[in-house]
Chains A and B, each alone.
Chain A
Amino acid sequence: MQWYMKSIITVQIIFTCTITYAAQIIKIDGSSTVYPITEAVAEEFQKIEKGKTRVTVGISGTGGGFKKFCNGETDISNASRPIKPTEVELCKKNSIEYIELPVAYDGIALMINPKNNWVSHMTVKELKKIWEPAAQGKIKKWNQIRTAWPDKEIHLFGAGVDSGTYDYFTEAIVGKEHSSRGDFTSSEDDNVLVQGISTDVLSLGFFGMAYYENNKDKLKLVGIDDENDANGKGPIFPTYDNILKGIYQPLSRPIYIYLSKKSADKSEIKRFTEFYMKSGADLSKEVGYIALPDKAYELALKRFEKRITGSVFGGQGSQIGVKIEELLQKE
């Protein structure tokens, strides 16, 4: 088994070397939520570089990305939540220092089938009742959440357990990161979730806004009421304005890229990061996210130039209710 795997890997290495011997490679992996932005930036960047530099962007989820990043396998890690204590530990063990740069703002959308005519909004409490671990095998029907809703099964769909979206959602709704019921359809591939929700009248699911934007005709958004009037009265829908104003709470959050300090000194990584911070605003809008104010990108670039390492959130994982202004103040 071992030698067999090794020989496959060796063959792969030989192939990759012969194909790309001339170009420098920037290796990026991580969140599927951040992927569309980084991929868009990478495409534009490679056009400008005219084949001098190649950028590969993988999607193994924020958690999966950090595992590789902290093992020194990648230069940059996409993350839809700040780094967690266990990951800080792993990076430290391998003496990988990292620079955290916010790249955009994103909302997690809660969705139902367009034919569902009984739900218009839900409260955070109701969501907690559905998703907390104690609900497993118990909360199975719509009328268990609100008695006026039909006596029919509820079919749940959600982002995969390796994703930052799952981590953030559980932290924001259940109150504990990475803790939820386990009897729902969970997939790292957001397109599977779109397919599931769009073909099932009894469905309810969540994933990043950008995938909703691309499938508007097949899905219906659910408004969320956090019962805190400071964040706007009543249910709030994840529209561009609401996320920008910071009132779509608790399901909107900044998303990040993490750079390894070692890689940051390479000239191609430097060019890539500068390009990312300059074009990030336009490209993130183009692929369905909310851009940060220009000031934020300037500050982030300064942070990179000064090589300020560590996370502004102290390595504690998902933070709920971080608004754009607060993010700026932390810079």
Chain B
Amino acid sequence: MYKQYQRVKERLIEGALFLSGLFSIFITIGIIAVLFFETYEFFKEVSIFEFLTDTQWTPLFSEKHFGVLPLFAGTFLTTVIAIIVALPLGLVSAIFLSEYAPERIRVMIKPVLEILAAVPTVVYGYFALLFVTPLLQTIIPDISGFNALSPGIVMGVMIIPIVSSLSEDAMHAVPMGLREGAYALGATRLQVATRVVVPAAFSGIAASFILGISRAVGETMILAIAAGQQPRLTMNPFVPIETVTAYIVQVSLGDTPTGTIEYKTIFAVGISLFLVTFGLNVVSYWLRKRFREVYE
């Protein structure tokens, strides 16, 4: 009797777990289906060629142009700035935490770093607009109130914990024996960190970089607030630009009726963005498998 009860209970638990797993898969499929459907409708009216090659993006105006390049230029520019900030800082702090910091400090600093990731992005957005931009203007007087540099830097700060935390986990997992071997050969601490631990943990570090990049590509709020709303095909970080995500916000906030071409544009650019982040995640997965060093 008791055994039977146990068995039913186990079944129920398994069923519930299976359903919740299935639920998230269904949601993903639903999102992709909606994106594809609306994008298909969009490309009935605009050719893919124009979408990919036109250098102007003005679907809301009377002279409509549907070139997605200016939006992706904005996303690319801000992402590059964020990476320039986040990768070195994240990697160095990961090396410090894993190789130099005493255990006591390590357990203290790591959660503090991770708090950076818990700050709401809208706060980062206003921090960029109202603090970092005026600060930059005192150094570079020509920089505009809305620009790519300031939100790019702030976004970089935001993704430091992603890079440092994941890289640090990877480095921490490198077996002690490797380090001891290097020390036995007379290597210094720095040599051990840069020539033994970092290469050994390379797959994890690379994966953390790519996750950081894909986070920057998809970031919305900071850029919608501080980067401006003017699609512009430029690599100049001092002028107002618009990213893919900020455009989606702009259209969603306005009063665009459903079914119009303006409405469909957000799905077309949305799916383009999705393909980019999806590609990055695939690369990250592949890197982890390909370069994984297995220590028995």
A-to-B contact residues, CB < 8 Å = 1, 60-61, 63-64, 67, 133, 136-137, 152-153, 155-156, 160-162, 178-189, 192, 195-203
Contact = CB atoms under 8 A, between A and B. Distances in A.
Contact of A137 (B56, B62, B133): B56
Closest 7 CB pairs of A and B: A199-B145, A182-B58, A64-B255, A182-B61, A60-B255, A200-B144, A200-B145
Interface of B: 30, 34, 56-58, 60-63, 65, 129, 133-134, 137, 141-142, 144-146, 228-232, 239-240, 250, 253-255, 257
B60 A161 contact: yes
Given A156-B230, A162-B255, 20 more contacts: A1-B34, A61-B254, A64-B255, A67-B255, A67-B257, A133-B61, A133-B62, A133-B63, A136-B58, A160-B254, A178-B62, A182-B60, A182-B61, A183-B231, A186-B229, A188-B255, A195-B145, A196-B145, A196-B240, A198-B145
B63 A182 contact: yes
A186 B229 CA distance: 7
B243 to A, nearest CB: 13
B255 A155 contact: no
A188 B254 contact: yes
B62 A179 contact: yes
Nearest to B30: A1
16 contacts: A1-B30, A1-B34, A64-B254, A64-B255, A136-B56, A161-B60, A180-B62, A182-B60, A183-B56, A183-B58, A185-B229, A187-B250, A196-B144, A198-B145, A199-B133, A201-B142
Contacts of B145: 195-200, 203
Contacts of A61: 254-255
Contacts of A181: 58, 61, 63
Nearest to B70: A183
Most buried by B among A152, A180, A182: A182
Nearest to B236: A153
A1 B27 CA distance: 11
Given A1-B34, A136-B58, A137-B56, A200 B231 contact: no
B230 A184 contact: yes
Contacts of A155: 144, 230, 239-240
Contact of B134 (A137, A182, A187, A199): A199
Contact of A192 (B34, B63, B65, B229): B229
A192 B230 CA distance: 12
A103 B51 CA distance: 44
B239 to A, nearest CB: 7
Contacts of A184: 230
A177 to B, nearest CB: 9
Nearest to A4: B30
B255 A199 contact: no
B29 to A, nearest CB: 13
Contacts of A187: 229, 250
Contacts of B58: 136, 181-183
Contacts of B230: 155-156, 183-185
A182 B56 contact: yes
A186 B60 contact: yes
A62 to B, nearest CB: 10
A166 B232 CA distance: 21
Given A182-B63, A202-B144, A153 B240 contact: no
B131 to A, nearest CB: 12
Contacts of B257: 67
A136 B229 contact: no
A230 B186 CA distance: 92
A24 to B, nearest CB: 26
Looking at A60, A155, A188, A197, the one whose CB has the most chain B CB atoms below 10 A away is: A155
A310 B34 CA distance: 42
Given A133-B62, A155-B144, A183-B58, A196 B255 contact: no
B229 A199 contact: no
Nearest to A156: B230
Contacts of A162: 254-255
B133 A136 contact: no
Q: Find the residue from A195, A197, A203 having the highest chain B CB count within 10 A.
A: A195
Task: Give the residue among B57, B62, B141, B142 with the most A Cβ atoms within 10 A.
Answer: B62
Contacts of B250: 187
Contacts of A201: 141-142
Contacts of B62: 133, 178-180
A261 B141 CA distance: 56
Contacts of B30: 1
A114 B150 CA distance: 22
